[in-house]
Amino acid sequence: MEYVKLSNGVEIPQLGFGVFQIPPQQTKQAVAKAIQAGYRHFDTAQAYFNEEGVGQAIAESGIPREEFFITTKVWHSHHGYEQTKKACEESLKKLQTDYIDLYLIHQNIGDVFGTWRAMEELYEQGKVKAIGVCNFTETRFTNMALHNKIKPMVNQIEINPFYQQQGTEDFHAKFETLIESWGPLAEGRNVIFKNPILAEIGEKHGKSVAQVIIRWIIQRGIIVFPKSLKAERMQENLDVFDFELSEEDMEKIKELETGEPIAYIDTPEFVESISQFGV
Specify whether 123 is catalytic.
Answer: no
Strand 131-134 versus strand 102-105 pairing type: parallel
Of 3, 39, 48, 103, which one is the catalytic site residue?
A: 48
CB 270 within 8 A of CB 263: yes
Q: How many CB atoms lie within 10 A of CB 260?
A: 11
Quick one: DSSP state of residue 49? Answer: T
d(CA 118, CA 208): 43
Among the listed residues 185, 170, 175, 171, the one whose alpha carbon sits nearest the alpha carbon of residue 216: 185
- The strand pairing partners of 154, in sequence order, are 178
Ordered DSSP codes for 220-245: TT-EE----SSHHHHHHHH--SS---
By CB neighbour count within 10 A (0-12 exposed, 13-18 middle, 19+ buried), where does 261 fall? middle
Q: Which residues are catalytic?
A: 48
